Amino acid sequence: MGYPERRLRRLRRTPALRRLVAETRLSVDDFVAPLFVREGTEEPVAIPSMPGQVQHSRSTLVAEAKRLSALGVPGVILFGVPERKDSVGSGAFDPDGIVQVALADVRAALGDELVLIADLCLDEYTDHGHCGVLDARGQVDNDATLALYQQTALAQAEAGADVVAPSGMMDGQVGAIRAALDGAGRCDVAVLAYAAKYASALYGPFREAVEVTIAGGGDRRGYQQDPANRREALAEVALDVAEGADVVMVKPAGTNLDVLAAVRATVDVPVAAYQVSGEYAMIVAAAERGWIDGPAVALESLTAIKRAGADFVLTYFAGELAEALGG
């Protein structure tokens, strides 16, 4: 008796056959590693809610960047943990701010061997924890914030960033940053826009990592996207592309695979996805309890993100999986 479905099963029979017909291939080239760098420390500081991740010192950051580059990881994105914060987040655009000096350190050590991406936001540097400056009513002042984003982009470009990545979800942020970079003769610096960034409950470990608390128990739902909305994400992405984004990002990745697929089908620019801190922490925590095979689940989840349309993925598993994949 003929079973047409047997044709499908025949091609699953051995590992070699499965490799031969695989539709999606995940490699070290698909990873960007998020790294935290802390001002005023000589030793790395563990992040309790993200086992295996640390706040680096400047010297250990360079060592980690060298390790990742040797494994074949093509890029890193830097997040700063400053010693002092203020109402306008001045550490974000200070030429001597922690991310700027760290960018210069890594650039001096590795040259162009590694793509250096700088997260461009104010929340790590403000004493109120919001992604922009506040007006007299305590609300984020969009236009005043854009001027500071421009200053930050220029400081990061001068320090050695190949790519700046605005993550604050301010209206017009991509256009303002592109204009500032071009006006300063830095047309070479690319903009990776956090274009579809949801107000997710999965960011908790990250906020511990960068020591951010939103004042008054507030949230960012007034400027980040509602997780219930898909069409809104496509509209945000289209606006960022129109303003000059070189790459657009969907965040979080795992809970928004439908959005990721829709964005990939809609735009011609590269599409990134961020497997965020909560996604990482859940996999690691379950693996520590013996409930799942952690590396296998990490690999499966990242394959699904790529299958949905991501050209590359920001993931805290970058180093671990680069080793496993033979980077």
Query: 66, 85, 197, 306: which is the annotated catalytic residue?
Result: 197
With contact defined as beta carbons under 8 Å apart, do 299 and 321 qualify?
A: yes
Alpha carbons 17 and 22: distance in angstroms, whole number: 9
Concerning whether 251 is annotated as a catalytic residue, the answer is yes
Q: Which is it for strands 190-197 and 312-315: parallel, antiparallel or unpaired?
A: unpaired
Q: Give helix 98-110 / helix 142-159 axis angle, nearest 10°.
A: 30
Concerning whether 197 is annotated as a catalytic residue, the answer is yes
Alpha carbons 113 and 74: distance in angstroms, whole number: 8
- Name the residue among 199, 202, 206 with its Cα closest to residue 49: 206
Kindly provide the residue ranges of all beta strands, DSSP E only, lying in 106-220, ordered along the sequence. Answer: 115-120, 163-166, 190-197
**252: preceding bond cis by omega (within 30 degrees):** yes
With contact defined as beta carbons under 8 Å apart, do 213 and 267 qualify?
A: no
Catalytic residues: 197, 251
